[in-house]
Chains A and B, each alone.
Chain A
């Protein structure tokens, strides 16, 4: 499969779900889609195009919480990034973990650090934060403030 065939198949299959298609460079493509369509789009890229799920990254921007799902196709040297923009007040999206296991832990991490609710995730426990961490405090949000009164923030000199 060539680069053009792969991109054309995504565009033709999901014309209504696509918000923006940005062809940044020969190696990199950004596709913004509606959050409701993430499962069929990701399954198409993963199953039908044979791409590898690389990682997902979550960002808290001024207006939205963004999640970027990165898929790589090594044989044609292409990195496809699928971007979704979520509502800041109640960020939630369908989970990709039932579709492929590689999404399981990164969704748990985004859940605890950014507070995104992944609907249908099989096991949405904490991954990195300790047990004592308070519920509902998300450290990578823009409005995060220090809650730990015992923390020492000087170098002691």
Chain B
């Protein structure tokens, strides 16, 4: 594991991006930040700018307009970065799979490290997914 990645995992700053979701996953992500679940105990903090972020947290089904914005944002994240897909829509587009406006799934656009299924996933599931990702990278099994 590289020094950069180790530093990243100590306190991952998260940028939250919705690519056309119904906002239910976004509400669950915000739930994670509340004192009840308190994701800050893992050092996670919501970053206001993509240029401060280590983790890109993506919800939604990637429609044609937001795919362009997503690519532009992914180019701006300081590398190495980790991409987390949250919710059924960003995994496989859910019920929108045959939609004229959602041609390709998220993992064909950017490389995804963690998939968290659910519609929406519970905050516990999101935290479990992130913790599993940190363990995976610490063991050296990560993609990077």
Contact = CB atoms under 8 A, between A and B. Distances in A.
Interface of A: 128-130, 132-133, 139, 144, 146, 148, 150-156
Interface of B: 64-65, 68, 92, 97-98, 100-101, 103-105, 107-108
B68 A148 contact: no
A130 B100 CA distance: 12
B92 A156 contact: yes
Contacts of A152: 103-105, 108
Contacts of A154: 97
B71 to A, nearest CB: 13
Contacts of B103: 148, 150-152
Given A153-B98, A155-B92, A156-B92, A133 B64 contact: yes
A132 B105 CA distance: 18
Interface SS majority for chain A: loop
Q: Which of A128, A150, A152 has the most CB of B within 10 A?
A: A152
A150 B100 contact: no
Given A128-B65, A152-B105, A144 B92 contact: no
B118 to A, nearest CB: 15
Contact of B68 (A130, A139, A144): A130
B101 A139 contact: yes
Given A154-B97, A155-B92, A156-B105, 8 more contacts: A128-B65, A130-B64, A146-B100, A150-B104, A151-B103, A152-B105, A153-B98, A156-B107
Contacts of B92: 155-156
User: Which 10 A-B residue pairs are closest in the complex by CB-CB distance?
Assistant: A151-B103, A139-B100, A155-B92, A130-B64, A152-B104, A148-B103, A130-B65, A153-B98, A152-B105, A152-B108
Contacts of A156: 92, 105, 107
A139 B68 CA distance: 20
A152 B96 CA distance: 12
Contacts of B97: 153-155
Nearest to A154: B97
